[in-house]
Amino acid sequence: MNVEGTAGIVTGACSGLGASTARALAARGVQVYGFDLPPAVEQMGDCSEGITYLAVDVCDPQMVEEAVSQAASGAEPLRTVVNCAGIGPSMRILGRKGTHDLDLYAKVVQVNLIGTFNVLTLASAQIAKTEALESGQRGVIVNTASVAAYEGQVGQAAYASSKGGVVGLNLAAARDLAQYGIRVNCIAPGIIETPMLATVSEEFRHGLAEGIPFPKRLGSPDEFASLALFLIEHDYINGEIIRLDGALRMNPR
């Protein structure tokens, strides 16, 4: 699918994977609508070249519906969505301070899984209204899971559950939306150099990189963005989950 002259939505667009993806889509001629929480959007300003930032909590159906409607109301048809918004706090099911906090568990699932589903659902309703392209295609949605969906580490019960839900959603969503000409794919990143890793030492990052078979380095947000673009532009990839991890298989710790 040629994305030039279309509109796209990227969640978590103010940092990390979302920021790189928003810039990559804008560079391809997409009018990008970047969703993120209000404090993050305030720091970014209203817009940059090819990107309009909107204050959106992906867990809030009304906020998402209004923002999706805005993205779909411009001159460019809404064709793409890349869901990058997510959180990853760590807590053991049983730890020194007691049992896993249920509210924290629910919050992680709410943001990572239900937030993804919320945006996917409301955006697909708008994409389905667009004029069909060749072979009846109307658009593409790319969701973000994690290798933790397959190899959740100690302390990742909530995160692994939420990302496992995104993996489980993928094929069902692709089948549900096939009749509308909307493809759904998913990326499962390994260890990516995002702002969350900026707070740890160089020695710790080196140790993480040493555990990756090849290449022995952390992934970059730009590599995620490149893969997202590939999945968007390749018309015959649908219902697929691709690991972006350098052949990493996570150890328990």
Q: Does 142 fall in a domain?
A: yes
Active site residues: 159
Q: Does 49 fall in a domain?
A: yes
Average pLDDT, integer, range 156-177: 98
CATH number of domain containing 106: 3.40.50.720
Global pTM reads: 0.95
Average pLDDT, integer, range 187-210: 79
Q: Does 149 fall in a domain?
A: yes
Q: Does 34 fall in a domain?
A: yes
For the chain, what is the domain count?
1
pLDDT of amino acid 204? 66
Q: Using 50, 70 and 90 to split pLDDT, how confident is the model at 10?
A: very high
The pLDDT tens digits of the residues spanning 77-130 come to 999 999 999 999 999 999 998 999 999 999 999 999 999 999 999 999 999 999
User: Strand 47-48 to strand 51-55: parallel, antiparallel, or no bridges (unpaired)?
Assistant: antiparallel
201 has a pLDDT exceeding 80 = no
**Which residues have C-beta within 8 Å of that of residue 83, sequence separation ≥ 6?**
11, 12, 58, 115, 116, 119, 120, 141, 142, 143, 144
Could you give the CA distance from residue 236 to residue 239 in angstroms, rounded to a whole number? 10
Nearest to 57 by CA among 46, 44, 48, 66: 66
Determine the distance from the C-alpha atom of residue 208 to the mean position of all C-alpha atoms in its chain, rounded to a whole number: 22
| Mean confidence (pLDDT) of the chain | 94
Q: Does 250 fall in a domain?
A: no
Q: Does 103 fall in a domain?
A: yes
202 has a pLDDT exceeding 90 = no
Determine the distance from the C-alpha atom of residue 62 to the mean position of all C-alpha atoms in its chain, rounded to a whole number: 20
Cβ neighbours of 106 (radius 10 Å): 12
Highest mean pLDDT among 41-45, 46-50, 155-159: 155-159
Average pLDDT, integer, range 146-150: 96
Q: What percent of the chain has pLDDT over 70?
A: 96
Burial class (CB in 10 A: 0-12, 13-18, 19+), 208: middle
Q: Using 50, 70 and 90 to split pLDDT, how confident is the model at 134?
A: confident
Q: Does 177 fall in a domain?
A: yes
Domain hosting residue 219, numbered range: 7-244
Q: Does 206 fall in a domain?
A: yes
